[in-house]
Chains A and B, each alone.
Chain A
């Protein structure tokens, strides 16, 4: 007759072997046995056996310690066997070459909506502030407005920052922290049926518009536009794309189609991860350009405008054409 003890005696060697192999794979004993090779087929076979034993032990009401041991070893093996490794250099390469631009094209309606939500308030508020410069005071207080003028005055040491602020490197760090935070906020706020994303996009667009309108009216347009022209190719595009990912989340909740709302949200979230990888990388590029290139006063504006045109063309071409063959 099969009893728990007999069961344990019969199969314990297999469980021990599986536990030993799992330990080795997880590297705990790598130092003790440096030149070991573990056969995946052996682990998989032992794992399936342990699954059978667990099912039997549960059906036969074997003691808790026995079931617990089998549950532990099967859970550990399950984690190892079904683990998906999707990080690494090769993966990063396909994301840049295919997945990211292709994901942007797939979301073209959300991208267009996000772009409009950013650009319309920017243009409208920009024109308003240009025709009535005092309106800038309803966006920022008077000291901030004065510091803007100082930041973009042609006599500034470096454009786009106050005199007290420190070096290019410091601003590089500051831009990364600040801009990535804004982008992630635009994405996360999409969880509220997209309304939060619309708000943050519109708010940031309106603020940029107010600043541009004010500085243009003050006659500082040549420093200001030559400053922003280049890095906005990466920065504004990245913010719009993270907004598009947020709108995708909101859309999945409002119109889940044939899925439940939670299933639809999970699918949308999984898709938007690719966009977020790309957005983060673009914001690092934007921060570097903003800190080291845009702020330089020794470069004539014409050079900056030329480079800006190249950057904008390149980024738009990248999203339009890159990876199309693999689509």
Chain B
């Protein structure tokens, strides 16, 4: 987990993407490019020399410009990266600049050595932020897009005043349990709620009633009265 601080003094969380999702994204982009170049070659075959000129220029564009052009769109990702929820950003969390995108993509020629992106793979495996050489030089980062988290519906139980004052951290833990509750099995939820039994005066007991009371405390902590 990397973080970038904004001028407003808040930390933006950046989640660097590892080797495997980046590999999938690369393979998808590669397939797309191969498909386009074959389709274009078929079309070029009917156009003679001019067609072949376009085909060679297209090969150049697919090889070098494809990632640059897509990284400079608002999504900051090639179709492959977008499919796997990745995007390219600067180290400080901002959209990638044209100069950085050009540099990181031209340096693929170095990352590719000695064969099949050997240096890129070694560099990505050795670094916590999973940068290849081009990312290091261009000060860019490939991160996971933030997954869409909807507001989870919490169980509607009567709010309950805790039997003792709760520190903010404890309140947060209880609320987090209540938010996760719909995704847990009933037995597991009872087990976890029993650990927090002390807040509703149920220390040492377990069961659906204890769970209801602990969730009630969570509703209270959120502000229901």
A contacts, CB < 8 Å to B? 3-7, 26, 47-48, 51, 54-55, 60-65, 68-69, 71-72, 74-75, 78-79, 82-84, 86-87, 166-174, 176-177, 180-181, 184-185, 187-189, 191-192, 196, 249, 262, 265-266, 268-270, 272-274, 276-277
- Does A189 contact B137, Cβ atoms closer than 8 Å? no
Number of A-B contacts (CB under 8 A): 164
- Does A273 contact B146, Cβ atoms closer than 8 Å? no
- Does A172 contact B59, Cβ atoms closer than 8 Å? no
- Does B110 contact A189, Cβ atoms closer than 8 Å? yes
- Does B10 contact A55, Cβ atoms closer than 8 Å? yes
Majority DSSP secondary structure for residues of A touching B: helix
Report which of A47, A65, A170, A269 forms a contact with B103, defined as CB distance below 8 A: A269
- Does B172 contact A72, Cβ atoms closer than 8 Å? no
* A265 to B139 Cα, complex, angstroms: 9
- Does A61 contact B94, Cβ atoms closer than 8 Å? no
- Does A51 contact B6, Cβ atoms closer than 8 Å? yes
Q: List 21 A-B contacts (CB under 8 A).
A: A26-B74, A51-B6, A51-B9, A61-B171, A63-B179, A68-B149, A74-B8, A82-B6, A86-B99, A173-B53, A173-B55, A177-B60, A177-B63, A180-B60, A181-B60, A187-B109, A188-B110, A262-B136, A269-B103, A273-B100, A276-B106
Report which of A61, A86, A169, A184 forms a contact with B172, defined as CB distance below 8 A: A61
Query: Given A3-B223, A83-B94: A71 and B13 within 8 A (CB)?
Result: yes
How many residues of B sit at the interface, in one of the four size bands? 35 or more
- Does A249 contact B137, Cβ atoms closer than 8 Å? yes
- Does A177 contact B10, Cβ atoms closer than 8 Å? no
* A168 to B9 Cα, complex, angstroms: 59
Query: Given A4-B222, A71-B12, A276-B106: A79 and B48 within 8 A (CB)?
Result: no
Report which of A64, A170, A269 forms a contact with B53, defined as CB distance below 8 A: A170
Residues in B with CB closer than 8 Å to A180 are 60, 64
Residues in A with CB closer than 8 Å to B107 are 187-188, 191, 269
Residues in A with CB closer than 8 Å to B171 are 61
* A184 to B50 Cα, complex, angstroms: 25
* A169 to B55 Cα, complex, angstroms: 11
Report which of B10, B55, B108 forms a contact with A54, defined as CB distance below 8 A: B10
- Does A78 contact B6, Cβ atoms closer than 8 Å? yes
- Does A65 contact B6, Cβ atoms closer than 8 Å? no
Residues in B with CB closer than 8 Å to A268 are 137
